[in-house]
Structure formats: C-alpha cells, structure tokens
Amino acid sequence: MSDDHHTQRLAEPVPPAGRLEVQNPFDLKPIASVDTLDRRGVEAALATAHALFRERDAWLSAHERGAILHRTAAAMQRDADRLAALIAREGGKPLVDAQVEVARAIDGVHNCAEVLRSDGGREVPMTASAAAAGRLAFTTHEPIGPVVAISAFNHPLNLIVHQVGPAVAAGCPVVVKPAEDTPLSCFAFIDLLREAGLPAGWAQALVTDGPETAEVLATDPRVAFLSFIGSARVGWHLRSRLAPGTRCALEHGGAAPVLVDGDMDPADVVPALAKGGFYHAGQVCVSVQRVFAPRSLAEPLAQALAEAAAALRVDDPSLADTAVGPLIRPAEVDRIDDWVRTALSGRARLLAGGEPLGRTCYAPTVLFDPPADARVSRQEIFGPVICVYPYDDADSAIAAANDLPFAFQAAIFTHSLDFALHAAQRLDASAVMVNDHTAFRTDWMPFAGLRESGLGTGGIPYSFADMRTEKLIVFKS
C-alpha cells in the first residue's frame, strides 16, 4: 500500500467506510490510497450542498465565482507539470497527451468564468397585447440547485473540469464522484478550487464504497441535476431511478464511423485516422473505430494505417516518446483480445497488432473487413482497434455506418464539396468532421451523444446553461 493517502473532500469529514488502492495501470504498482464513503458520507455531502443552496444570502456573486475560477486556472498553470504527471500515473495517458489535457483543462476553467459575461436574461415583450399593457417583463437566471457529477477515467482532469467548473460558474453546490481508477486528478482540482477561495461546501469530492452507494448519491431527491459520464448501461439505469424533477445529462459512447471518398490519398488520411483511433489507446468515447472506404482504396488505406500502427511506441506513459499507453485495467486487455480473435475467426484479416503486450497494454490493431455482426463492428471497443471496410457505393456505406443504436461524432474525408454535404446530411451523428478525425473537439462546442450514446448536450457553455433556471419577473405599472 502506498504511503500517499487521500481523504474525502467534504466540507465536514465523516469516518471512512474503507480504503481504495489506486494503481498505475501500466505496471500495476500502487501509487496512492483513497478513503471510501458509505451512505453516511453521501448524506453529509448532500446535506451540506442542500443547506448552502437553500441559504440564498450565502450564495456567491457572479464576480466572486468568476474571480475564483480565474485564480484556479492560474494555480493549474503553476502546477501544470504535476497535474500532467498525475494524469499519466493514474490514468495511463501518455505524458505528451496528458500535457495537452492539462492545457485544455486550464482553458476550460477560463471558459467557465467567461460564460458569466455573455449569457444574460432577455426582455419579454408586453406591448403586443392590450391585456399585457403597462407591464415590463424580463428574465434572469438562477442556479438550478445541488449538482451531482459522476465521472469517467479516461480524461481524469478535463472531464472533472467539464462537470464541476460549470456548476461553480452557475452558482450550484456540486458533489463529484470521480472514477475509482482515477480519483487523484479530481481531488487535486478540488484542492485548487479551495486554494483559490471557493468555500469547501460548494465543491465536494468523494469515492463511494460501491455502486449502490453511488446510486443513492445520484438519485437523492435533493439533487437538482445529474451530470453522468460513463457506460450506457449505468447511465440509462440511473436516469430511470432519478427523483421526480431531477434533470440530467448523460454522456456515453459509440463506435464512431469515418467515410472516405475515392479521391483521397491514403497519405492524407492515415495520420488523422491513427491519431483518432489510437490516442489514449482508443479509450475515447468518439474514437475512430469503423472506417469505410471505396473497394479500390480500402486495402491500400488499411495497409498504410497498419504501417502507422506498427510504428507507434507502446510503453510506459511517463516516457516522453510513448505514443500509446496501457488500458485502464488488465481485464480490458483480455476483453479486447477476445473481441479481436472472434472477428478473426470470421472473415476479418489482421493487418497490424492483434495481441496483448504484457498484462496491461494492447498492440495498436488494424482489422480489414470484419463481419458486420462481430462485436468490433457493432459495439464500442474502447481500445486501440480500427476496422476498415470496403464499400461499393457511398450510400451503402452510410447505411452501414448508421446501422447501430449509437450516434455521436462521425467524420468524412473528401475533396468534393458535393460528397461532403451529401454524406454529412445523411450520417446519423450530432457532429460531422470533414477532413478530420472523429475525436476532434473544442471544449466550448456542443458535444452530444444521440440515441443510446447519451442525453443532452455537453460542452462548457451548454452544461452551464443546463445548471441554471430561467426566472420571469413581471412589473405592472
């Protein structure tokens, strides 16, 4: 057991229910231990959040919240190297990508402060009706109430910023439960918020002693808004159990499709596909997974992608030149290998990878034309595997791309405006990238999973809007 021990970040600490060991996912060595909390801890956190929200005179003003957020971003910049190393150690993300995540998270905290300046109320016209004459009506915004955020492991700092930052900006007390695999980045962010002047009760963090306790946290009637990032199975279950009146946003995943036009040179497509598919070992909810290319181009494209995959260094994520790190748990290595081998027992051809590299890593893998009913074709693999499928006409490829219960982000590679517009209008997706990979995003753009991929719209300004209510005030003269 590591000597680095972390307690919960509650306003009023309670006795722990147990202790969780946090491991480095590359070498499986313990790096820290974290207290877990049972229902008593959940009750303490929610009671604090509820009491703060009900005491309106204790609400922080918008300018106070903005200043706290800007000071937090400055402290994150000061600690950027420490935060990047923490992401790499607990989450297995290669250091170069962890540094990018920290930079994004810092910018995201600034974004949380900036939305306070740009999203005011509105006048509701009263002069259009004789019955409304002599009145002035306008809207203002108020915090929706206590927010509970349940987060995922794959971006252990930036996802927390996306869930906690808008709540702070909106003036909502927030209780966040990070992923059990990666709680340390969350705790670090909460500590920096408090260092910047946020009173402890406005942002609390805890790790529960099991899924039942996490469900109690999410479904308590005092929760006004649930922000969930994680598996569809858990997310839809929690939504079905929410208390009446609780709003929510769910972000799950998909099996992102890419449609390549016949006018493309593989050399112009492969770098983006490799980045979008193998970044963070494919553990991204909009990672490139299914690539559709014309029959004449598909195999040369797949071979070039295989060469790019074979050239990636898979190693310790703390090393500067590591391109692909570990899966979050050894069980994920076994699952991915099983999916790949099952596809190979069908008609799929293995062009690169296809094997575990030790207990914790999986070789970047390219499969050519796996069966349409294989799990690699129909479910989110959440690993470093890209499948390439030949097509005879674009509309049949679009139909195959759409033939899943998921719809999130998609991509098109083409030099033809007509092809781009035709495909973009027909792909089932909330966002379509043209000549870029499916995993591109900025943190202020809408980010929405459709169908089983999620509910609501992420992105900092959109989460901020979700965490506020609009109040109409009418004056009669």
Q: Do β-strands 406-407 and 450-451 pair in parallel, antiparallel, or remain unpaired?
A: antiparallel
Query: Are residue 119 and residue 209 in the same domain, yes or no?
Result: yes
Q: Do 298 and 262 touch, CB atoms closer than 8 A?
A: no
Residue with tokens 């970040």: 9
Residue 37 falls inside a structural domain: yes
Distance linking the first and last C-alpha atoms of the chain: 70
**pLDDT tens-digit profile of 450-459?**
999 999 999 9
Neighbours of 207 (CB within 10 A): 27
Query: Are residue 407 and residue 316 in the same domain, yes or no?
Result: yes
DSSP class of residue 263 equals: T
| pLDDT at residue 418 is higher than 70 | yes
CA–CA separation, 353 and 367 (whole Å): 9
* Residue 14 belongs to domain spanning: 5-252+453-476
Residue 247 falls inside a structural domain: yes
Q: Do 1 and 21 touch, CB atoms closer than 8 A?
A: yes
Single out the residue of 105, 100, 99, 104 nearest to residue 84, CA to CA.
99
Q: Do 20 and 38 touch, CB atoms closer than 8 A?
A: no
CATH of the domain at 289: 3.40.309.10
Mean pLDDT of 337-343: 97
From residue 324, give the alpha-carbon distance in Å to each of 118, 121, 182, 226, 477: 39, 46, 18, 32, 67
**pLDDT tens-digit profile of 430-448?**
999 999 999 999 999 999 9
The number of angstroms, rounded, from the C-alpha of 190 to the middle of its chain's C-alpha atoms is 18
**pLDDT tens-digit profile of 261-282?**
999 999 999 999 999 999 999 9
193 pLDDT band, cuts 50/70/90, is very high
Q: What is the pTM of this model?
A: 0.94
**CB-neighbour burial class of residue 393 (10 A; exposed 0-12, middle 13-18, buried 19+):** exposed
Query: Are residue 348 and residue 287 in the same domain, yes or no?
Result: yes
DSSP class of residue 243 equals: P
Query: Are residue 351 and residue 379 in the same domain, yes or no?
Result: yes
Could you tell me the two tokens for 450? 């459709």
Q: Which amino acid is at 69?
A: L
Mean pLDDT of 234-253: 95
Single out the residue of 222, 220, 215, 246 nearest to residue 51, CA to CA.
222
**pLDDT tens-digit profile of 20-41?**
999 999 999 999 999 999 999 9
From residue 228, give the alpha-carbon distance in Å to each of 78, 211, 237, 375: 29, 14, 11, 25
CA–CA separation, 83 and 103 (whole Å): 10
Query: Are residue 222 and residue 354 in the same domain, yes or no?
Result: no
From residue 115, give the alpha-carbon distance in Å to each of 225, 328, 462: 19, 34, 10
Q: Please report which helix (H) or strand (E) contains residue 295, including its range.
A: helix 295-310
285 is catalytic: yes
Query: Are residue 239 and residue 278 in the same domain, yes or no?
Result: no
Residue 99 falls inside a structural domain: yes
1 pLDDT band, cuts 50/70/90, is very low
Mean pLDDT of 377-396: 96
Which of 285, 361, 380, 452 does the annotation list as catalytic?
Answer: 285
Mean pLDDT of 54-69: 96
Number of domains in the chain: 2
CATH of the domain at 115: 3.40.605.10
Query: Are residue 44 and residue 171 in the same domain, yes or no?
Result: yes
| Residue 88 confidence (pLDDT) | 97
Q: Which amino acid is at 425?
A: Q
Which of 251, 332, 380, 452 does the annotation list as catalytic?
Answer: 251
Q: What is the residue-averaged pLDDT of the chain?
A: 95
Query: Are residue 55 and residue 151 in the same domain, yes or no?
Result: yes
From residue 307, give the alpha-carbon distance in Å to each of 260, 274, 287, 364: 18, 10, 19, 10
Could you tell me the two tokens for 386? 């890209």
**pLDDT tens-digit profile of 7-16?**
889 988 899 9
Query: Are residue 104 and residue 140 in the same domain, yes or no?
Result: yes
Residue with tokens 């900025």: 442
Lowest model confidence (mean pLDDT) among 4-13, 15-24, 277-286, 298-307: 4-13
CA–CA separation, 362 and 340 (whole Å): 11
Residue 448 falls inside a structural domain: no
Residue 447 falls inside a structural domain: no
Cβ burial 451-473 (10 Å sphere, 16+ → b, else e): bbbbbbbbbbbbbbbbbbbeeee
Query: Are residue 240 and residue 139 in the same domain, yes or no?
Result: yes
Query: Are residue 198 and residue 130 in the same domain, yes or no?
Result: yes
The per-residue DSSP string of 406-471 comes to EE-EEEEE-S-HHHHHHHHHHS--SEEEESS-TT---TTS-B--EETTEES-BSHHHHHHHTEEEE
Query: Are residue 212 and residue 267 in the same domain, yes or no?
Result: no
Residue 31 falls inside a structural domain: yes
Report the residue count for the chain: 477
Residue 266 falls inside a structural domain: yes
Helix axes 184-195, 158-170, angle to 10 degrees: 30
